[in-house]
Amino acid sequence: MKRAGTVRAACICLALATAATCFAAEAEEKETPTWPRPRSTERQEERERMVDRQLADRDIRDKPVLDAMRNVPRHWFVPEDLQRSAYDDRPLPIGHGQTISQPYIVALMTQLLKVESTHKVLEIGTGSGYQAAVLNELTPHVFSIEIIRELADPARKRLTDRGYTKVAVKTADGYHGWEANARFDAIIVTAAATHVPPPLLGQLKPGGRMVIPIGAAFRVQQLMLVTKDEDGKVKSRVICAVRFVPLTGSHEKGQ
């Protein structure tokens, strides 16, 4: 009888452990969002070569980021007359004095954010929509602000038409962030600011990360990683030298 009792106890423990495992797996499955992410075979070899030579051969090691860069066709976001250069590792003009960042910088900034599928991300500077599309590969919660309406409207349509339907784009001064959708797990600023905008810091969650170029317009700037710990303490560190077009809101113009 003692042996039978031991066997029954072992079976009960095994059943409880199995149930707990199934419950945890079910909970994890429910917590992981799913969302539409377009796929295309257009110029796939060029994308593979871009990822292998420009990113993986350097310091981009995050697999989800590499996959995102591989999956998003950069030529969808490049002007027609520059299509031949779509996968070169350099920024390209997109009109109105703005550029689409070089692939390496897009990947580096994305990697620094450490985006997870449940994260809410704010982008300042939609441009052509390329960075937003890359972020949308990692999370369905992407909010992007563009101050130039002539860029914001086409970018919104381009993203929707291409299948990035979870990206929200609005025309506004990104210096002030997007208060209605705050707070954000990650914030990425794709234009150079003279300082870290206080409204963006306020909209960053405890434990959140912000990547922003800091420095004077049309000069070499410093790409900064800004973090906020669970107690709200802010720290920053320099990542590398970069050159971005300037943030053009009223605060940056000193108005």
Q: Would you please indicate which residues are annotated as catalytic (active-site) residues?
A: 101
- For the chain, helix, strand, coil in percent to 5 are 40, 25, 35
Are residues 33 and 140 in contact, defined by beta-carbon separation less than 8 angstroms? yes
The dihedral built from the CA positions of residue 79, 102, 96 and 171, taken in this order, carries a sign that is positive
The pair phi, psi for residue 218, each rounded to 5°, is 60, 25
Tokens for 229?
């710990």
The dihedral built from the CA positions of residue 242, 247, 251 and 252, taken in this order, carries a sign that is positive
186 CB-contact burial (10 Å; exposed 0-12 / middle 13-18 / buried 19+): buried
The pair phi, psi for residue 135, each rounded to 5°, is -65, -35
Please count the residues of the chain: 255
